[in-house]
Amino acid sequence: MALIIVLSVLNGFSSLINFFFSSFDPDLKITAVEGKMFEPNSNDAEKIKNIPGVIHYAEVIEETAMLKLGSNQYFATVKGIPPNYREYTQIDSLIVGGEFTLEKDGIEYAVIGQGVAWNLGVGLNLTDPVRIIVPKKGRQTALIPARAINYNSIYISGIFAVLEEVDSKYILVPFHFARDLFESGNKVSSIELGLNTNVDIKKIQKEVQQVLGDSFHVKTKYQQHDLVNKTLKSEKWTAYLILVFILIIASFNILSSLSMLIIDKKDDVLILKSMGASSQLIRRIFLFEGWLISVTGAFLGAALGILICWIQIKFEIIALPGNGSFVISAYPVQIIFTDIIMIMGVVLLIGFLAATYPVKFISNKYLLQENS
């Protein structure tokens, strides 16, 4: 029961984090192996667009810049995105203030992360634009600092919230705004692809990789945050191993109870032997009782664990602390069938071994000598 509950809660947190990342990230992201920016090949672009399942193709510019609002300054990643960005992501679902607007009535707007907004003191009721400052490309610091930098100002239309890793890093601006600011010309930082639903992402990933060659990385949503996902997976397996170790220690209860039972039933065993019962039959009786304890405990524990998880999913009984400061109100839970099979297999294996030892060795010593 403990194994199922703990792993299901960890699955819930992992699924929640991946949901927020997937709402912000594209299905596939193409970046150069060497260098920060590259110039897209028009022939390769057409081949990628013609791959079945690819429905959105977008070129993106990402560079670090200093943001300034009044006396507040903050370094963030300026991400220049095309108009179809909202079509291959779920950015609209992440907006917590204002709206997702990049251009309206000839005025350019930016959508800013919640963490960046907090550090700058940005509010949607402010009428002052945020100034974005970057060094000019290929130029040394001049005696007059103003000649060594590029800067531009932009109004804020909305604030989005994903996770702290993203919220405190990104500000989204129109693509041409970023291109002019960073003087990137025809170069881009990455190419983002939106795929049709119910397609084999790994298959399309391989096809895109074959088109581009080894000079580019093609990453899925999971691979774009590889460190976070590996950390979550390692936490899950660490918790699993700790609980299995506790389960092994607890299985000594089966061993000790069976050993005492064999000794306590010594007279009954002698009666069975006098009635013609073989040593093998007597062993099977005690072994079957040990297995019954393990199997009954395993299935009852699994049923209780699944029931508790279902109650939490349905009614959100156990709430998260913080009085609504989190994006969810209760502990997330996700039951994965393969986890239950794995847990049941380990529990039954440990129970089988715990029942086999006393029956094999204790019975030989106390009950089943041929001279008894």
Could you give the CA distance from residue 167 to residue 160 in angstroms, rounded to a whole number? 7
| Residue type present at position 195 | L
Residue with tokens 């634009």: 129
Per residue in 74-99, pLDDT (tens digit) is 999 999 999 999 999 999 999 998 99
φ, ψ of residue 98 in degrees (nearest 5)? 75, -145
**Selection from 44, 118, 54 nearest residue 88 by Cα:** 54
- pTM exceeds 0.85 for this model: no
Question: Average pLDDT in the 286-313 region?
Answer: 93
Asked if the model's pLDDT at residue 141 lies above 60, the reply is: no
Asked if the model's pLDDT at residue 142 lies above 60, the reply is: no
Identify the pLDDT of residue 177: 97
Residue boundaries of the structural domains of the chain:
26-221, 228-366
Percent of the chain with pLDDT over 90: 65
Could you give the CA distance from residue 149 to residue 137 in angstroms, rounded to a whole number? 9
| Alpha carbon distances (Å) from 354 to 114, 246, 247, 341 | 54, 14, 11, 20
Do 354 and 252 form a contact (C-beta atoms < 8 A)? yes
Identify the pLDDT of residue 56: 96
**Selection from 152, 149, 151, 171 nearest residue 160 by Cα:** 171
